[in-house]
């Protein structure tokens, strides 16, 4: 049996692209013929992904959906069984005032996704939050398939030595990882840093890992707020994109992962934090409750004085810190690769039965 995946673009280091390669490997190990096809393939993904074929001939096709693309119409005409894996689309309102093209892409993407409701044999969200969106759009058969991750590099990898040395200077390190997009609410991280500095300590650092891409204006506006509130670069640090080794150093050397994001479809960094035993504080929005379950510390209101105190306690109160880490160890079992792999194969079998 041939089970193939379609991607608009294949990028190494991208959560969706990396997951597609892992899914392909699982399917091949299970005795199926499987490839990943993409419209746009980065140079470093050449050979892992193949150019999209003129005449697809799969028994089962899995379309990873996060943006509109010609693959949507192609799926409707494809032979065999069809599965959509929905990775969420950030709502357009978060981009208004920053990028009209992203507003258009977001709006078009949601409309395009809805056209597949009567086409697909099964629609999977990588969180319950995403599954409910699919249900609301009219998809009849839905399920949840968490992003298939590889724990091993995070548990046994070697951190970047230079980044590790920089971050091991005794300061309290508070980490956030994610694209510098308005839905992530970097301005709220800046506000928390201001309150931490004012009421708790000046011996700290917020480490913000992720690229701005088309959102340079947004990043500049956040930086202007940080400057106005007296935060110097050594206290509120945008790193841009970093290597995996440096990312691992950031997780290993940080004291707390802090998320103020107001829209998440899954949030891979939450899983990465759990794997690296980094205590989490996260605003409870979007898929965050689905991903964390009862783990970490979640909050529904942004009371900055209280959050600053909680970040401090999570850093220095060993009993609290260990209790939170233990909750995350327990929760991370839900996302172990072997469990997600079994669920994936179960869904493929389901659509073929």
- Ranges of each domain in the chain: 3-149+336-352, 152-335
CATH code for the structural domain at 152-335 = 3.40.50.2000
pLDDT at 353: 87
pLDDT at 78: 92
Give every strand in the sheet of 297-299, ordered side by side: 236-240, 204-209, 172-177, 256-259, 280-283, 297-299
Instruction: For the domain made up of 3-149+336-352, give the CATH fold.
Output: Rossmann fold (3.40.50)
Mean pLDDT by 10 residues, the chain (353 residues): 93 86 97 94 80 85 96 93 97 95 96 96 98 97 98 97 98 98 98 98 98 94 98 97 97 99 97 98 98 98 98 98 98 98 98 92
Residue 34: Cβ-neighbour burial (10 angstroms; 0-12, 13-18, 19+) = buried
- 3-state secondary structure at position 125: strand
Contact (CB, 8 A) for 50 and 36: yes
Angle at CA of residue 293, ends 291 and 297, nearest 5°: 95
| Domains 3-149+336-352 and 152-335 equal at CATH topology level | yes
């Amino acid at each position: 049996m041939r089970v193939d995946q379609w991607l608009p673009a294949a990028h190494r280091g991208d959560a969706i692209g990396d997951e597609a390669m892992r899914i392909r490997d699982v399917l091949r190990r299970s005795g199926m013929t499987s490839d990943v096809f993409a419209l746009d393939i980065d140079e470093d993904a050449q050979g892992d992904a193949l150019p999209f074929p003129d005449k697809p001939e799969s028994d089962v096709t899995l379309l990873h959906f996060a943006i509109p693309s010609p693959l949507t119409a192609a799926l409707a005409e494809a032979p065999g069984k069809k599965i959509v894996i929905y990775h969420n689309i950030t709502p357009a309102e978060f981009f208004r005032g920053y990028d009209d093209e992203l507003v258009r892409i977001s709006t078009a993407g949601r409309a395009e996704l809805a056209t597949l409701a009567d086409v697909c044999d099964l629609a999977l969200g990588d969180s319950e939050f995403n599954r409910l969106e699919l249900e609301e759009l009219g998809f009849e058969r839905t399920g949840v398939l968490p992003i298939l991750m590889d724990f091993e590099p995070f548990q046994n990898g070697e951190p970047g030595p230079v980044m590790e040395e920089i971050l091991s200077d005794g300061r309290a390190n508070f980490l956030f990882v994610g694209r510098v997009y308005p839905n992530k609410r970097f301005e709220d991280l800046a506000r928390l840093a201001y309150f931490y500095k004012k009421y708790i300590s000046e011996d700290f650092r917020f480490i913000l890992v992720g690229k701005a891409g088309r959102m340079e204006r947004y990043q500049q506006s956040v930086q202007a707020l940080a400057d106005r509130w007296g935060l110097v670069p050594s206290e509120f640090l945008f790193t841009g994109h970093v290597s995996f080794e440096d990312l691992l150093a950031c997780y290993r050397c940080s004291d707390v992962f802090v998320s103020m994001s107001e829209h998440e479809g899954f949030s891979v960094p939450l899983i990465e934090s759990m794997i690296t035993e980094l205590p989490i504080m996260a605003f409870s929005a979007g898929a965050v409750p689905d991903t964390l379950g009862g783990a970490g510390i979640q909050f529904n209101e942004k009371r900055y004085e209280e959050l600053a105190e909680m970040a401090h306690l999570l850093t220095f109160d060993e009993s609290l810190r260990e209790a939170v880490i233990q909750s995350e160890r327990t929760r991370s079992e839900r996302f172990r690769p072997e469990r997600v792999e079994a669920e994936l194969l179960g869904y493929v079998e389901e659509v073929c039965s």
